[in-house]
Structure 1
Amino acid sequence: MPKTTTSMRRQLILMVSMVLICINVLALWGAHIYANRATKVSYDRLLYGAALQMAENINILDSKVFIDLPVSAFETLALSNSDRAFYAIMSNQYQVLTGYNDLPSIPFTQLLLQSTEKEKFIPIYYEAPYHEENVRFVALGKRLLEADKVNDVFIIVGQTLGARQAAAAEINRMALHFVSLFFVITLLLLLFVIWRVLRPLQAIKQAITERSPLELSPLETNVPSEIAPLLKSINYFMAQLDTTLERLKRFTAEAAHQIRTPLAGLNSQAQNAIDETDEALRQKQLQHILESSNVLSNTVNQLLNRATLTHRYQSHPFSPVSLDQLTKDTCRELVVWALERSVEIEYVGDIQATVDGDEFALKQMLQNIIENAIKYSPNKGLVEVELMSTNELKNVAVVLQIRDQGVGVPDEDKEHIFEYFYRSPDNQASGSGIGLSIAKEVAEHHDARFHLKDNEPTGLIVEVIFPRRVLSKNRYPKVKGARL
């Protein structure tokens, strides 16, 4: 089962919702601050206006202060229906001339400081509890001039906070309604946008779901440029899968045919051996059975190796491989098998090379090429294995050569020798016809080129040229005749 995570749609909705919530919370917080500040400024202006109207109707005559409180001042305060208003007019001796006698203490120090430094009094606002209610006060001074005498009076006007709190709450409520509506509308619009953005993915899913399991042609769906790489990757994957399935289908058919033929021969030879009365002829028939069994066993092993390599091509990443050391080890493993066939293996190396690749696959390639060279070498023949560097086509490359002294391969057969199960009509040696095909596949998997050349005076040279990404280092002198 594929490992799934939270749906992309759900993640987008969650992130969008969180962003909207943060924005709306900030908007509500800003609206709350604005509401409190706006109501405070508005009602403070009402208090200040009432205090100014009272101050304008205070005069002095013969050292006596005359106060005529205007009705308009109280009408101004009455604009707040739910609030109560308080006032007091005091002399500079802190005596209440008119109004409430028990108002909270006022900042006389600041007012007196203004009276000595400035010609004009600046209103002072403050809040204080009065009759178990919070009251907002404004204190204002007025300078009365008569002859050479100067008298100061102070006007204090207060009002409860109910109206301004109600106004601030109303503004907050309206802001909440607006922000909520904005949140819902914005969220719906963003949900629509998310649906439209994810719609191409749904279209790709639908196109794949509606397909037959055998339909592996490229998807032809219009998608945005951001999703085009995904569609390209899907088409590339399906192309690879189609190639793999086609190759597997063809290879399975060919393998079934190649295995069925020796099995039929084995069955026929075994039946003949059972019925044969001549002991010498029976021994000859048993020898043929053994040879056919060895060919069949070799074919099956090659088929299994190819299946393993096909799996590794898609599942194993490349890693640094010491190509020279791998070649030496492979030669050592085959030297006994070669000596049994009166063939010598000689490794001729002049470089140390490291290639990015699959060590198992490269070893299978080396084994198949060297075994093929040994198999077609004459009695007391020599197989040379050489690793060298070349500056071919301005690209430094590493070249692996395996040279034998056999009969070689005719030019008309060289183009067919890499086909699976192909065997030349003139080839009398036993074999499965798979080894060089596997070797070429491994080389191509490592972006290497596979060449066949004629050896002098006779024989075949199998050449594998690795590209520039092969790293060559630590050259050392060439050692001729170093037999393993």
Structure 2
Amino acid sequence: MSKTRSLRRQLLVMTFIVLLFISSLALWGAHIYANRTTKISYDRLLYGAALQMAENITLVNGKVIIDLPISAFETLSLSSSDRAFYSIMNTQYQVLTGYKDLPDIPFPQLIRESQQNQPIKPLYYESNYRGERVRFIILSKRLLEADKSKTVFVIVGQTMEARAKAAKEFNQIALQFVSVFFIITMLLLLFVIWQVLRPLQSIKQAITERSSLDLSALDIHVPSEIAPLVGSINYFMAQLDNTLQRLERFTAESAHQIRTPLAGLISQAQNALDEKDAALRKQQLENILESSQLLTQTVNQLLNRATLTHRFQSHPFSLLSLDELIKDTCRELVVWALEKHVEIAYVGDAKTNILGDEFALKQMLHNIIENAVKYSPEHGTVEVELMTQSTASNQALSNQATLQIRDQGVGVCDEDKLHIFEYFYRSADNVAAGSGIGLSIAKEVAEHHKAAFHLKDNQPTGLIVEIVFLCVEESKQ
């Protein structure tokens, strides 16, 4: 037996994977948001400090006057772990005040934009300076005095330790929040999974606690999604109960039917041993042979019925040529019928296909035709005819094939027609040898193929067995 997979474990694994993916996505988004937020916040500090410096630069008598405010440095000193650098330069790259070795200043871009006589937008860039990573901002200011003008550039930089620390703290808070969310969600989902799987556990418990002989329907309340499962289980148990009842009844009847001829055989054999008259002993031996043949026929039919019962549940239908199947069966029985001085005549000319089980249909045809031959008078004829017709059903054409097997025997009275399909039933007026299960098997096969099974009176005497099949096209195989 292969190892089964736990549904609860599969749900937990899938839930864990989904939550892990969502949590990772949330942490990745939080990381991006933290870096962006801290970058914007500290860039604003840089911009504020550079703007204060630019506002205190003037042009007096053609000379640039710089009065750096303390407030600008106080703004940068809000982060105690960072260091600040600044430089004020003119368009000739001359440092008017501040650090003279600030790195990677984009002078070509500054000169190009200053020549357009438009204010230069704040320009941010990062570079390594004195062993640390520094974020810089560059502002330009145009100084005017009478007919003179000059442009100066304010460059302010700040190390990035504080902003990295702030982003790390934000990420840690996000990690803590996501971890708590993950744990709480997993616990809630564990409860939900347990709650959802409870009906399955109740079904298991209801089946486990009942007796092995109790095949009654389960009466438990389950969600609508699981109701079809309970319905399928109830249907299966009903089918199993019906099969077991039929098997029990059939076994009892079969045992009786076999036990009776066996007892007769023993009695006749004992009488034959004790009989002194040779002629009478010969008659007794002939009776033994006849009883043995009847017993063999009964056992064969019982075995065939057991085989058919198994095939009904295990063999799918296939596309068959019904007319060819009937002809083959007639050919197989024609010699046997002639030995009994009865002719089998196939008078049908229809050709049609059906979905069915070839073995089961042959057993059905054998039983019906053998039964017709058995009850036919000497030099009689058993007619086998296949006809097709189309009938309108639900505003659509449904092709049907009708098989008739007609004999010229004594027929069956209306009272016996009510019981003729019961196992081992034999009429009180029936003098022919037989087991009484042939027509019962034939009707079961017809019903398994969704075919209608009818008994009609033949004229002037005899019985007509009529079976109506539904035909199919080859394209519907």
The answer to whether TM tops 0.5 is yes
Amino acid at match of 2:400: A
Give the drift of 1:392. Answer: 6.4
Aligned position for 1:34: 33
> Could you tell me how far apart the structure 1 residues matched to 2:346 and 2:355 are?
22
Q: Is the 2:134–2:160 contact (alpha carbons within 8 Å) kept by the matching residues of 1?
A: yes
Write out per-residue CA displacement over residues 132-175 of structure 1, whole angstroms, 9 at most, x where no aligned residue: 11111111122222222112222111111100111111111111
Aligned position for 1:195: 194
Aligned position for 1:154: 153
Q: Is the 1:141–1:153 contact (alpha carbons within 8 Å) kept by the matching residues of 2?
A: yes
Write out per-residue CA displacement over residues 382-441 of structure 1, whole angstroms, 9 at most, x where no aligned residue: 111111124568654211111111111122111111111111111111111111110111
> Could you tell me how far apart the structure 1 residues matched to 2:118 and 2:466 are?
109
| Shift in CA distance, 312/341, structure 1 to aligned 2, threshold 3 Å | same
Counterpart of 2:421 (choices 418, 421, 433) is: 418
- TM-score where L is the length of structure 2: 0.95
Give the drift of 1:324. Answer: 0.8
Secondary structure of the 1:174 match is helix
Aligned position for 1:448: 451
> Could you tell me how far apart the structure 2 residues matched to 1:308 and 1:111 are?
98
> Could you tell me how far apart the structure 1 residues matched to 2:120 and 2:473 are?
94
Aligned position for 1:337: 336
> Could you tell me how far apart the structure 2 residues matched to 1:225 and 1:435 are?
45
Aligned position for 2:273: 274
Aligned position for 1:182: 181
Give the drift of 1:285. Answer: 1.1
Aligned length: 470
> Could you tell me how far apart the structure 1 residues matched to 2:414 and 2:307 are?
32
Q: Is the 1:351–1:472 contact (alpha carbons within 8 Å) kept by the matching residues of 2?
A: no
Across the aligned residues of Structure 1 and Structure 2, the Cα RMSD in angstroms comes to: 1.7
Give the drift of 1:113. Answer: 3.0
Q: Is the 2:123–2:139 contact (alpha carbons within 8 Å) kept by the matching residues of 1?
A: yes
Identify the range of structure 1 (111-120 vs 151-160) with the bigger mean alpha-carbon deviation.
111-120
Summarize the alignment of residues 339-354 of structure 1 with structure 2, pairs less than 5 Å apart: 339-354=338-353
Aligned position for 2:162: 163
Q: Is the 1:352–1:472 contact (alpha carbons within 8 Å) kept by the matching residues of 2?
A: no
> Could you tell me how far apart the structure 2 residues matched to 1:234 and 1:205 are?
11
Identify the range of structure 1 (145-154 vs 397-406) with the bigger mean alpha-carbon deviation.
145-154
Q: Is the 2:135–2:159 contact (alpha carbons within 8 Å) kept by the matching residues of 1?
A: yes
| Shift in CA distance, 458/393, structure 1 to aligned 2, threshold 3 Å | farther
Secondary structure of the 1:46 match is helix
Secondary structure of the 1:349 match is coil
1:243 paired with 2:242, answer yes
Secondary structure of the 1:409 match is coil
Secondary structure of the 2:425 match is coil
Q: Is the 1:114–1:122 contact (alpha carbons within 8 Å) kept by the matching residues of 2?
A: no
Write out per-residue CA displacement over residues 237-290 of structure 1, whole angstroms, 9 at most, x where no aligned residue: 111111111100000000000111111111111111111122221111111111
Aligned position for 1:459: 462
Write out per-residue CA displacement over residues 87-127 of structure 1, whole angstroms, 9 at most, x where no aligned residue: 11223322222221211141223333333324534221111
Identify the range of structure 1 (139-148 vs 154-163) with the bigger mean alpha-carbon deviation.
139-148
Secondary structure of the 1:94 match is coil
Q: Is the 2:399–2:472 contact (alpha carbons within 8 Å) kept by the matching residues of 1?
A: no
Amino acid at match of 2:169: E
Percent identical residues: 71
> Could you tell me how far apart the structure 2 residues matched to 1:328 and 1:119 are?
105
Secondary structure of the 2:115 match is helix
Amino acid at match of 1:42: S
